[in-house]
Amino acid sequence: MACNGVGTPRILLNSVSARFPHGLANTSGQVGRNLMFHPYASITGYFDDELDGERGPDNAYWSHEFYETDTSRGFLRGFIYEFNRGTATASTAIGGLAAGRIPWGGGHHDAYRRIHRRSTGLGAICEDLPEPHNRVTLDPILKDIHGIPAPRIDYTLSENSQRMLDFAVARATDILKAAGAYDVEFESPIPRGGWHLMGTARMGTNPETSVVNEWGRSHDVKNLFIVDGSIFTTSAGVNPTPTIQALALYVADQMKQRLATLFD
Ligand SMILES: Cc1cc2nc3c(=O)[nH]c(=O)nc-3n(C[C@H](O)[C@H](O)[C@H](O)COP(=O)(O)OP(=O)(O)OC[C@H]3O[C@@H](n4cnc5c(N)ncnc54)[C@H](O)[C@@H]3O)c2cc1C
């Protein structure tokens, strides 16, 4: 299975039989549970001077300063910052209008010039933690064109992730002000986030609390392997795809090494 954090549990939950009445590989009841995203905060500073940031590489710097747990911060685990370059001409216009910084009519051009090439910012990718009530189930009504039940997603941002976001915004504001920003704005969490889908068929050594074993094989079904974001145990505060690729290679390697006894 490699249909990622929503597609994989959807297929498993739809695959019911007398042996697996609650879905394939779901004796533990964990399939679909522990759905994690990456709550993402975007923080932008506006400067008097031109920065020329749009000419540089995107995401030029990354910081792991706040990645590990420090309980004095009031939350577990942490986040990384990605330092974004400034926005270019069209995105300044679109972003500026959306944020209410560039009015139509009189003053439009002055307001545009005030922020064009004069902003830069940070994104904070927060490590969501597994919570069983955040989950993928099957929608009781909605179906695809083949009549197969669609996935339904229930997710509530945890207090831990909310505290992490608040801390990330506050430190990013400090950074931008120290760098000379005359104004700082933020979105937290950004509403269009939720592209990283993790945790819904998690890995573990205990068949009662996990779906696949430590090398990606289903505890219940010995010829079923999962190689996507659903086997993550936490979300890690970084973009997930290199880790998904590494897990796919790792599981493939394990299969090769264990070929003689793979299904025992
Ligand atoms: C807008 C956006 C931006 C992103 N940016 C980044 C980034 O910057 N860095 C990063 O690391 N990650 C990023 N991601 C996440 C990244 O795309 C995923 O982590 C990655 O694609 C996962 O790879 P995958 O092969 O496991 O799953 P997917 O690429 O999701 O592939 C799963 C495949 O399974 C298929 N499938 C699902 N259900 C069924 C079914 N029932 N029958 C048949 N086929 C099915 C799907 O059609 C799909 O082709 C981003 C995602 C989005 C949406």
Q: Would you kindly state where each structural domain of the chain is located, as residue ranges?
A: 1-34+195-264, 38-135+157-194
Range list of H helices, 32-151? 89-98, 108-115
Q: Give the span between the Cα atoms of 127 and 237, in whole angstroms.
A: 4
What confidence tens digit (pLDDT) does each residue in 149-176 have?
A: 999 999 999 999 999 999 999 999 999 9
Long-range contact list for 149-154, CB < 8 A, 24+ apart? Answer: 149/10, 149/14, 150/10, 151/6, 151/7, 151/9, 151/10, 153/6, 153/35
pLDDT of residue 87: 84
Q: Give the span between the Cα atoms of 144 and 30, in whole angstroms.
A: 24
Q: How far is the CA of 238 from the centre of ligand 1 (A)?
A: 16
Q: How many CA atoms lie within 13 A of 225 on its CB side?
A: 17
Average pLDDT of the residues of the chain: 95
What confidence tens digit (pLDDT) does each residue in 172-216 have?
A: 999 999 999 999 999 999 988 889 999 999 999 999 999 999 999
- Considering the entire predicted model, what is its pTM? 0.93
Q: Give the span between the Cα atoms of 218 and 26, in whole angstroms.
A: 9
User: Which residues 6+ apart lie within 8 Å of 230 measured at CB?
Assistant: 1, 4, 5, 8, 9, 197, 198, 199, 200, 201, 202, 211
pLDDT of residue 242: 96
Mutate to test the pocket of ligand 1, among 12, 196, 225, 238 (most ligand atoms within 8 A of CB): 196
Domain 1-34+195-264, CATH: 3.50.50.60
Tell me which residue has tokens 């299975």. 1
What confidence tens digit (pLDDT) does each residue in 97-121 have?
A: 888 899 999 999 999 999 999 999 9
Query: What is the residue with the minimal CA distance to atom 27 of ligand 1?
Result: 4
Edge to edge, the sheet with strand 61-63 lists 61-63, 79-84, 119-126, 40-46, 183-187
